[in-house]
Structure formats: structure tokens, C-alpha cells
Amino acid sequence: MIGPSSSHTAGAARIGLLARRILGERPVEAELTLYGSFAKTYKGHGTDRALIAGLLGYEADDARLRDAFSHARQEGLEFSFIQSEEEPVHPNTVRIAMRGVSGRSKEVLGVSIGGGRIEIREIDGFPVELNGEEHTLITLHRDQPGVIARTTAILSATEINISTMRVFRSAKHANAVMLISTDVPVADDILESIEAVPAIESVLALEPL
């Protein structure tokens, strides 16, 4: 781990790295809003550099973390920090609004909960619970009967075991997000089968951090 703090540095780097994976491509622009302790101490603890290092794809123990700002300039990543006075649910909180190289946009809310462990608690405004410790599928879909059953049937038919599954929806029959943690990675052809399920708009597979 590159110090000085597991919560403010290592955790921040892991939030940035998981945010990059959720975006699914190289980010070229990022606005990072810091809350609570993150907002008060981010420069002294290197939280700002750690977050940018994660967005560049660096692990928490990567020595390049210390020079993340210069690496970001070299890779064409524009970034800015906002210190919020809003009281967060957790003191180590950051909201990252990103735009990728293809123009795709994503926004995540991440929390560093101690010892380098993290949680993503929002994706594009949807409340989620994602810690980056398991193989995880994230689907965006319309909330309607059969979506969950068809998705799990595809995984079952290929003998992929589900360890946990959670579904979050904005309202009945509106947009929903499904998080499925599996014991093993899910192959691309299986992902394509899931994405072909009616009402599913997109599928993203995340590897453990």
C-alpha cells in the first residue's frame, strides 16, 4: 500500500479503480466531489492523487500513485475536485462523475470504510451495494416479470454459481439495476446471452479488485 492512510489513500485508490471499471473504458474527464473527512484532509493524506491513480487503472500499491497528476496529464485525463460542505452518511465519501473516451458517462458514489475496504453505494443515482471483492455482473434493465428468472437460468445452465444477488429499482416497472456475484468469471458469450434477454439494456462484468 502507498500511504499514509488505508482509508484515505488505499481506499481512495480502490474507489477510483472500481469507478473506472464501472465506466468500462478509459476516462478522459472526471469531476470528483469530496465529502466529510475526504473534503477536509484530501491533500495532506494524498486522497486526491489516490483517486486519480485509481481512475488511471493503478492499484493501491502502485508506486506511480505519488505522481498520478502528471500521469493523468500525459494520458489526457482532465479532472477537478469540489469540496462539499454537505454532511455525508459516511465521512470518507466521494462522488465521481466521469466521461470516457467513447463519450460514455457514468456517476458513482463511493465510500472508504476502513482498512482499504470500500463500497460503491450509487451508480447513476441508483442505490447499490458493491464492494469489488467478487466477480460481479451489473445489469441495467426495465423492471418487469421474468427478467431475473431468465438471467439466473442462463447462469444455471452454464453451471455458474451465484453467491449473492440484489436488485434495486427506481420505481415499479421503471429502471432497475441487478447485481449478481458469482464464484467464477462469466464468459463473453454468456454475457451476450444475458444482454439478449428482453428488457435488459446493458450488462457489465467486473473482476475482483
Kindly state whether residues 120 and 155 are assigned to the same domain: no
Kindly state whether residues 11 and 107 are assigned to the same domain: yes
- Count Cα neighbours of 107 within 13 Å in the Cβ-side half-sphere: 9
Residues 6 or more apart whose CB falls under 8 angstroms from that of 30 comprise: 52, 55, 77, 78, 79, 80, 96, 97, 98, 99
Residue at a domain's end among 130, 159, 177: 130
Of the candidates 125, 164, 169, the one whose C-alpha atom is nearest the C-alpha of residue 144 is 169
Kindly state whether residues 148 and 51 are assigned to the same domain: no
CATH at 183: 3.30.70.260
Amino acid identity for residue 135 in this structure: H
Q: Is the pLDDT of residue 4 over 70?
A: no
83-136: per-residue pLDDT in tens? 999 988 888 999 999 999 999 999 999 999 988 899 999 999 888 889 999 999
Domain that holds residue 191: 135-206
Q: Is the pLDDT of residue 66 over 60?
A: yes
Q: How far apart are CA 184 and CA 88, in angstroms?
A: 35
Residues 6 or more apart whose CB falls under 8 angstroms from that of 76 comprise: 28
Which element (helix H / strand E) includes 100? strand 92-100
Residue 1 lies in a domain: no
Kindly state whether residues 109 and 140 are assigned to the same domain: no
Calculate mean pLDDT across residues 30-49. Answer: 91
Kindly state whether residues 108 and 44 are assigned to the same domain: yes
Q: How far apart are CA 45 and CA 63, in angstroms?
A: 15
Number of domains in the chain: 2
**pLDDT for position 42:** 84
Indicate the pLDDT class of residue 203, thresholds 50, 70 and 90. Answer: very high
Residue at a domain's end among 130, 158, 185: 130
Kindly state whether residues 151 and 125 are assigned to the same domain: no
Residue with grid cell 450488462, as numbered in its chain: 203
Q: How far apart are CA 75 and CA 77, in angstroms?
A: 6
7-27: per-residue pLDDT in tens? 668 999 999 999 999 999 999
pTM over 0.85: yes
C-alpha grid cell, residue 189: 458469450
Kindly state whether residues 97 and 170 are assigned to the same domain: no
C-alpha grid cell, residue 160: 455458474
Kindly state whether residues 86 and 19 are assigned to the same domain: yes
Tell me the pLDDT of the chain averaged across its residues.
92
Residue at a domain's end among 130, 156, 182: 130
Kindly state whether residues 18 and 104 are assigned to the same domain: yes
